[in-house]
A and B are shown apart, each in its own frame.
Chain A
C-alpha cells in the first residue's frame, strides 16, 4: 500500500476527513443548525419589541434597542454553538467511535480538535451572517468591510476559546447527560451576566463588575462598535467599573483568554489523546 509521506499532508487529509464527517452529519440532520439561526431571530423580534420604548439615552452609541441587541445575539449564537461542540466528541466517546480515531496512525491527534474548531467556526459564520442579514432587513444596519473583519476575527477567538473548553469537558465529564446539564447551567446565565441584553450602566453594581469580566462582553462590545459608521479599533467599547476599554483592548483580552485556555487544556487533551 502506497502511503503518502508528508506529515503536514497527513494532518490536512485527516482533518479534512474529520471535518467532512461533521458536515455530512449537519447536512443530514440540519435541525440544530436552523434552530441556531431561528432562536436568535426570535429573540431579536421579542426583545426588540419588549424594549422598543426603552429610553434612548440608556443605550450608549446606538439609536434603537434592536441595534444594541444584534451584537449580543451574534455572539450568543457563536457561543452556544461552540459550547455544544463537545457533544459530538462525547457521543463518539460513549459509542466507541473515538476508538476508531485513536487506533488510526493520525499524524497528530490535534486534528480531532482542529476539525471541531473549523466546523464550529464555519457554522458560526454562516449563522451570524444570517442574523446580520435579517437585522439589516429590520433596519438595524450592517458593518462595513473593516467592521465585518472585526466581527469574524472576534468570533474566531470566541469560538476557539469556548470550543477548547467544551472539548475538554467532553473528555472530563462522565457522559453526555452531565455535559448537557452543564451547558444548560452555563449558557443563559453567562448571557445575562454580559452586555448582550443591557449596557453595564443599566446593571446593579455587582452585575456590572461580573459583566465587565465576562469573556462574552469582550466579544460583544467590539462587534457592537463594528456596526458604527465611524468604526475605529481605538474607540471606547466598554465603560467597565475598573476603567474604559477600547475595541482593541477587548479583542486583546479575548485573545489572551483564548491562549490561556489552550495552554491550560493542552496537557489534558495530550493525556486523553495519547
Chain B
C-alpha cells in the first residue's frame, strides 16, 4: 500500500528550480532511498515532506493527509533528522531528548522509558550526560537520530544521516535502520553514498537537477543494463576528438551499448558490454585495426552510479565536485532560515 504519494511537486528558489514536477509513491514499511549529488534537490524534497517549506505546485499526502493543508497532523506522524545537526550545545544529550519528548507531548512515564531505550539502542550510555557541545560528529548524529525517533514516528525522514561519520557510528545507524524497517517503520533516506542506498534501500529514486532520472528496486535498476560495465581508455589523457573516434568504432560492435564519454575522467569511454567472453577480444582487434592501443580497460558489475552516469554523462562523484564549486552555501543557508 502506498503510504506517501507525491504528485507533480515543484519548488523554486527565485531563479533556481529546485524540484521539477516530481512524482513518487512510497510503500508503507519500506526503506526508500533518494540518491543524487549535492544540490540535486534531495534536501528540498525532504524539507517539503517535513512541512518546513511549502511547495509551489503539486501535492504530498502521507496516510492520505495533505502535508500543506494539515501540517500538524503530519508532524505527529513523522520524525525528521535534518542534514545539519542542530543541537543546543549547552544542554546535555539527556536534557535534549527530554526537551524533544516534551515538544512531542510524550507523557512522563513513557518519556523516561523511551529515552533509556534509545540510549541503549544507539549505544550512548557513556556520553549522554555530557553537554552536546563536546560531542563528536558521530555522537551528534546519533543523538539527533534518537531525537527523531523518540515519539515512534510512522515515517522517519533522514537527510544524509551518515555524511562524514566514522565507521562505528555508520554501522550503528545502519543496524538501527534495518531494525526499524523490520518493525514496520517507513524510512526515507537521502544520500549521495551509493553503497549506503544499495545496501539499505528497497526502492531508490535517483534525482539530478530537481528531476527524477530513474526509480525502482536497486537490483532491477542495475540489471536493466543486461551486461557488464566497461571503462576504456586509449590514452591516459585523451581528448574529445579521439574519444569520439573510438566511440564510432565501439558503436559498430555487436553487444556493446550505452556508450558515454566521461570528459572529467580523461575522456574515458563508459559502456555496457554483453556477458560474452569473446567480446573483449573482438573489441581489442577492432581497436588495433584502427591503430588505437588500450591504455586501461576495467570490467565490473553495473552499479547505481552507472544508472546516474547513463542519464547524465557524469558520475555521481564528478557531479558532486561540479556542484560543490557551483553552490553558494551561505545563500542556501539564508534561504533555509525561517
Give A contacts to B, CB under 8 Å.
1-4, 9-10, 13-14, 16-17, 20-21, 24-25, 28-29, 93-107, 171, 174, 272-274
Contact = CB atoms under 8 A, between A and B. Distances in A.
Contacts of B91: 21, 24
A102 B52 contact: yes
A99 B110 contact: no
B338 A99 contact: yes
B332 to A, nearest CB: 12
Contact of A3 (B52, B78, B102, B105): B105
Contacts of B110: 1-2
B169 to A, nearest CB: 20
Interface in B32-89: 50-52, 71-73, 75-76, 78, 80, 82, 84, 86-88
B93 to A, nearest CB: 13
Nearest to A13: B102
A107 B105 CA distance: 9
A272 B338 CA distance: 6
B323 interface: no
Interface of B: 50-52, 71-73, 75-76, 78, 80, 82, 84, 86-88, 90-91, 95, 98-100, 102-107, 110, 114, 131, 147, 151-152, 334, 336-338
Nearest to B77: A105
Given A21-B91, A93-B338, A97-B88, A16 B102 contact: yes
A101 B103 contact: yes
Contact of B104 (A9, A96, A104, A274): A104
B88 A105 contact: no
Contacts of A102: 51-52, 338
B90 A25 contact: yes
B307 to A, nearest CB: 31
A144 to B, nearest CB: 40
A86 to B, nearest CB: 14
A105 B95 contact: no
A102 B51 CA distance: 8
A10 B76 CA distance: 13
- The 9 tightest CB contacts between A and B, nearest first, are A17-B102, A96-B86, A105-B75, A104-B103, A97-B86, A105-B76, A103-B80, A1-B152, A10-B105
A95 B338 CA distance: 11
Nearest to A272: B338
27 contacts: A1-B151, A3-B76, A3-B106, A9-B105, A14-B103, A16-B102, A17-B99, A17-B102, A24-B95, A29-B90, A93-B337, A96-B86, A97-B86, A97-B87, A99-B52, A100-B147, A101-B103, A102-B338, A103-B51, A103-B78, A103-B80, A104-B103, A105-B72, A105-B73, A105-B75, A106-B72, A174-B334
